[in-house]
């Protein structure tokens, strides 16, 4: 007999996501993904100065804080055909890489590892055995008996007080949990260490961006970082060398801890390479531009239809026609006026809330499509594009991760295994390692360029009379992000954001084809309907962010909160 279960809200994500699953005979037969929160940015940008757009757009989200700022300045620069100085590209690129690394580490350890790791089981681990197992897998300096004993003692302290703190309400002891107590202990130790290492990555963002969340150093036309090697109050070599020390620390954590842990967890759940593929049309965009106009990139992107890397179509520049002409959004199943499918420049954002109706409208998220079909975005899409484009770092780390999984699990894991729930985790770790290489490369480019005497960071934008249309894309941590702008006489006429979680969390589209979350859940097992851990495994593997996905605005201007100012 079939039964519908509702998980609302899904936790360990950003925002308010509801997932409904129709379960039959212990397996998911159909699923619905619904964004339950209503907030807004796109509408308030109308009529404003395009040079200010990035400051507002960045407030779409506090998780992927930098990414909407980047996509926004790129959209405006694209509309008025403005190139930016090399130093500005390099500084933006270091920020993008550091932010992406921070985000990927936080996602694996703090937002999803506990779907696979049983913290309570770590209490019964043999610490010596755990330490020698960890040391056989990695040269990491903090896998010693003393470190692991301290973690076990800390966990025991939590349990003895009856307060699990950050580990409260997990699925401890669930039948789908399969790691040994020793692996659980090592993973718990790395969970705690990851707090520290994600912070080092974020410090890089803060030094260059002035603050995080929400950097302050961008400008349409470049960046606002003054470069002066002789000044204590500008970006100088002392600051840059400090950034280098932070990069090195983070680099060892990614290679010696994150990549190894993902392989070790995956090797113990090989059946999860068989679940969660869902939509296998993959979209990603190139990023880390190295020239002033955005035609040479550090990472590749493009479109892969039907999971067939042989059909890869690259996206080649910030002006790319393939990307420019093939993005659309539908509101057939979303709580907006009408039933249309449009290119972002032609869209509007006119909210019309109603009840959840699985056969009609059931989400605040619009349904994007590429070439008329839903597409999956994210590190997996990006890694597949980079792999097939011949990116050496990505090939190296992907092969390394797959070899580790194969050796530990006694299977022959290959690229085809990546079309899965676990594949998304593996791809994120691989991308994270590649981002470290890109960050180092842009650091070297910046140092060399400054050393050659170039300290330019900004080209003044000029807005001609009449109408200009632009788009800016960015490969954000959760995938392909694009902002679309129409400027009229120097003011914003229309502004639309098509973001990674809109692609992945979207409802059924104009042809009733399910979005990536919805499709990926079909066929997943659910051992216990009251404790649907397996649903979380697949949904978390996308790293949902609903604030990003839904960014409409209450156009009645109702007061939500009043602040008294002195």
Residues serving a catalytic function are 14, 61, 64, 68, 478, 501, 545, 548
* Nearest residue (CB) to Mg ion, 330 versus 420: 330
Q: Is 234 helix (H, G, I), strand (E, B) or coil?
A: coil
Please tell me whether residue 64 binds ligand NFE under the rule CB under 6 A: yes
Please tell me whether residue 50 binds ligand NFE under the rule CB under 6 A: no
Q: How many C-beta atoms surround the C-beta of residue 491 within 10 A?
A: 12
Which of ligand NFE, Mg ion, none is residue 500 near (CB under 5 to 8 Å by kind)? ligand NFE
Which of ligand NFE, Mg ion, none is residue 478 near (CB under 5 to 8 Å by kind)? ligand NFE
Task: Give the span between the Cα atoms of 14 and 503, in whole angstroms.
Answer: 16
* Nearest residue (CB) to ligand NFE, 99 versus 419: 99
Which of Mg ion, ligand NFE, none is residue 477 near (CB under 5 to 8 Å by kind)? ligand NFE
Minimum CB separation from ligand NFE for residue 565, in Å?
29
Minimum CB separation from ligand NFE for residue 420, in Å?
21
* Nearest residue (CB) to ligand NFE, 227 versus 254: 254
Q: Which of 31, 61, 265, 385 binds ligand NFE (CB under 6 A)?
A: 61
Minimum CB separation from ligand NFE for residue 551, in Å?
9
* Nearest residue (CB) to ligand NFE, 21 versus 548: 548
Candidate segments 301-309, 334-342, 497-505, 527-535, binder of ligand NFE by CB under 6 A = 497-505
* Residues of span 250-279 touching Mg ion by CB under 5 A: none
Please tell me whether residue 500 binds ligand NFE under the rule CB under 6 A: yes
Candidate segments 40-48, 142-150, 335-343, 495-503, binder of ligand NFE by CB under 6 A = 495-503
Q: C-alpha angle 198/202/204, rounded to 5°?
A: 125
The burial of 458, by beta-carbon neighbours within 10 Å (0-12 exposed, 13-18 middle, 19 or more buried), is given as middle
* Residues of span 493-512 touching Mg ion by CB under 5 A: 497
Residue 290 contacts residue 298 (beta carbons within 8 Å): yes
The pairing of strands 218-219 and 222-223 is antiparallel
* Nearest residue (CB) to ligand NFE, 539 versus 545: 545
Host H or E run for residue 475: strand 467-476
Please tell me whether residue 548 binds Mg ion under the rule CB under 5 A: no
Please tell me whether residue 437 binds ligand NFE under the rule CB under 6 A: no
Please tell me whether residue 401 binds ligand NFE under the rule CB under 6 A: no
Please tell me whether residue 481 binds ligand NFE under the rule CB under 6 A: yes
250-273: burial string, b at 16+ Cβ within 10 Å, e else = bbebbbbbbbbbbbbbbbbbbebb
* Nearest residue (CB) to Mg ion, 279 versus 497: 497
Residue 543 contacts residue 377 (beta carbons within 8 Å): no
Please tell me whether residue 545 binds ligand NFE under the rule CB under 6 A: yes
Please tell me whether residue 299 binds ligand NFE under the rule CB under 6 A: no
199-225: burial string, b at 16+ Cβ within 10 Å, e else = ebbbbbbebbbeebbbbebbbbbbbeb
Dihedral angle sign, alpha carbons of residues 539, 542, 546, 550: negative
Phi, psi values for residue 49, rounded to 5°: -75, 125
Please tell me whether residue 552 binds ligand NFE under the rule CB under 6 A: no
Please tell me whether residue 549 binds ligand NFE under the rule CB under 6 A: yes
Candidate segments 130-138, 176-184, 201-209, 491-499, binder of Mg ion by CB under 5 A = 491-499
Host H or E run for residue 103: helix 86-106
Q: How many positions of this chain bind ligand NFE (CB under 6 A)?
A: 16
Which of Mg ion, ligand NFE, none is residue 63 near (CB under 5 to 8 Å by kind)? ligand NFE
Minimum CB separation from ligand NFE for residue 507, in Å?
15
- Longest CA pairwise span in the chain (Å): 74
Please tell me whether residue 45 binds Mg ion under the rule CB under 5 A: no
Candidate segments 258-266, 385-393, 409-417, 470-478, binder of ligand NFE by CB under 6 A = 470-478
Task: Give the span between the Cα atoms of 198 and 184, in whole angstroms.
Answer: 21
Task: Give the span between the Cα atoms of 499 and 543, in whole angstroms.
Answer: 13
Q: Which residue spans within 281-389 are E strands per DSSP?
A: 282-283, 287-289, 297-299, 302-304, 313-314, 327-330, 341-342, 367-370
Candidate segments 188-196, 212-220, 377-385, 489-497, binder of Mg ion by CB under 5 A = 489-497
Task: Give the span between the Cα atoms of 67 and 51, in whole angstroms.
Answer: 16
* Nearest residue (CB) to Mg ion, 266 versus 497: 497
- Kindly state the DSSP code that residue 270 receives in the 8-state scheme: G
123 to 145, 190, 350, 498, 566: CA distances (angstroms): 14, 15, 53, 45, 52
Strand partners, 351: 336
DSSP secondary structure string for all residues of 403-458: HHHHHHHTS---GGGGSSHHHHHHHHHHHHHHHHHHHHHHHHHHHHHHHTT----B
* Nearest residue (CB) to Mg ion, 398 versus 497: 497
Minimum CB separation from ligand NFE for residue 502, in Å?
7
Phi, psi values for residue 25, rounded to 5°: 55, 40
Candidate segments 56-64, 176-184, 437-445, 459-467, binder of ligand NFE by CB under 6 A = 56-64
Candidate segments 238-246, 302-310, 490-498, 537-545, binder of Mg ion by CB under 5 A = 490-498
Minimum CB separation from ligand NFE for residue 242, in Å?
27
Task: Give the span between the Cα atoms of 260 and 266, in whole angstroms.
Answer: 10
Which of Mg ion, ligand NFE, none is residue 547 near (CB under 5 to 8 Å by kind)? ligand NFE
R_g of the chain computed on alpha carbons? 23
Which of Mg ion, ligand NFE, none is residue 61 near (CB under 5 to 8 Å by kind)? ligand NFE
Which residues contact ligand NFE by CB under 6 A? 14, 61, 63-64, 67, 476-478, 481, 499-501, 545, 547-549
Which residues contact Mg ion by CB under 5 A? 497
């Amino acid at each position: 007999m079939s039964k519908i279960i509702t998980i609302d809200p899904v936790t360990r994500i950003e925002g308010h996501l509801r997932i409904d699953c129709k379960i039959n005979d212990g397996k998911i037969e159909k699923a619905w993904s619904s964004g339950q929160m209503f907030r807004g940015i796109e509408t308030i940008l109308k009529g404003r100065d395009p040079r200010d757009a990035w400051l507002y757009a960045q407030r779409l989200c506090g998780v992927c804080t930098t990414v909407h700022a980047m996509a926004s300045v790129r959209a405006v620069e694209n509309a008025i055909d403005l190139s930016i100085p090399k130093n500005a590209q390099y500084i933006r690129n270091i920020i993008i890489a550091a932010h992406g690394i921070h985000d990927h580490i936080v996602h694996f350890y703090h937002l999803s590892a506990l779907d696979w790791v049983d913290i309570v089981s770590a209490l019964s681990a043999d610490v010596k055995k755990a330490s020698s197992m960890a040391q056989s897998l990695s040269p990491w300096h903090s896998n010693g008996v003393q470190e692991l004993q301290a973690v076990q003692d800390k966990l025991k302290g939590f349990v003895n007080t009856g307060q699990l703190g950050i580990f409260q309400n997990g699925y401890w002891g669930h039948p789908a949990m399969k790691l040994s107590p020793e692996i659980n202990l090592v993973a718990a130790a790395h969970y705690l260490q990851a707090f520290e290492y994600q912070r080092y990555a974020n410090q890089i963002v803060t030094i260059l961006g002035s603050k995080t969340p929400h950097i302050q150093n961008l400008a349409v036309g470049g960046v606002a970082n003054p470069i002066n090697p002789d000044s204590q109050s500008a970006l100088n070599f002392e600051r840059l060398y400090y950034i280098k020390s932070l990069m090195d620390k983070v680099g060892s954590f990614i290679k010696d801890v994150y990549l190894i842990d993902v392989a070790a967890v995956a090797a113990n759940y090989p059946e999860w390479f068989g679940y969660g593929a869902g939509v296998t049309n993959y979209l990603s965009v190139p990023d880390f531009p190295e020239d002033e106009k955005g035609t040479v990139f550090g990472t590749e992107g493009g479109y892969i239809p039907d999971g067939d890397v042989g059909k890869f179509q690259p996206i080649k520049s910030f002006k790319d026609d393939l990307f420019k002409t093939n993005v659309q959004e539908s509101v057939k199943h979303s709580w907006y006026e009408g039933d249309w499918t449009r290119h972002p420049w032609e869209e509007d954002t006119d909210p019309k809330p109603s009840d959840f109706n699985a056969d009609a409208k059931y989400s605040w998220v619009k349904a994007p499509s590429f070439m008329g079909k839903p597409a999956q975005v994210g590190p997996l899409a990006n890694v597949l594009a980079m792999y097939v484009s011949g990116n050496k770092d990505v090939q190296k780390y992907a092969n390394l991760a797959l070899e580790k999984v194969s050796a530990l699990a006694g299977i022959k894991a290959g690229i085809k295994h990546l079309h899965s729930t676990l594949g998304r985790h593996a791809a994120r770790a691989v991308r994270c390692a590649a981002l470290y290489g890109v960050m180092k490369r842009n650091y070297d480019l910046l140092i060399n360029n400054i050393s050659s005497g170039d300290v330019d960071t900004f080209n003044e934008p000029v807005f001609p009379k009449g109408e200009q249309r632009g788009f800016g894309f960015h490969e954000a941590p959760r995938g392909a992000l694009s902002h679309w702008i129409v400027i009229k006489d120097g003011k914003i006429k229309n502004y639309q954001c098509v973001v990674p979680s809109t692609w992945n969390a979207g409802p059924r589209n104009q042809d009733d084809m399910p979005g990536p979350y919805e499709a990926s859940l079909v066929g997943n097992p659910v051992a216990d309907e009251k404790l649907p851990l397996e649903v979380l495994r697949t949904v978390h593997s996308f790293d949902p962010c609903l604030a990003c996905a839904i960014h409409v605005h209450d156009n009645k201007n109702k007061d939500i909160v009043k602040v008294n100012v002195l």
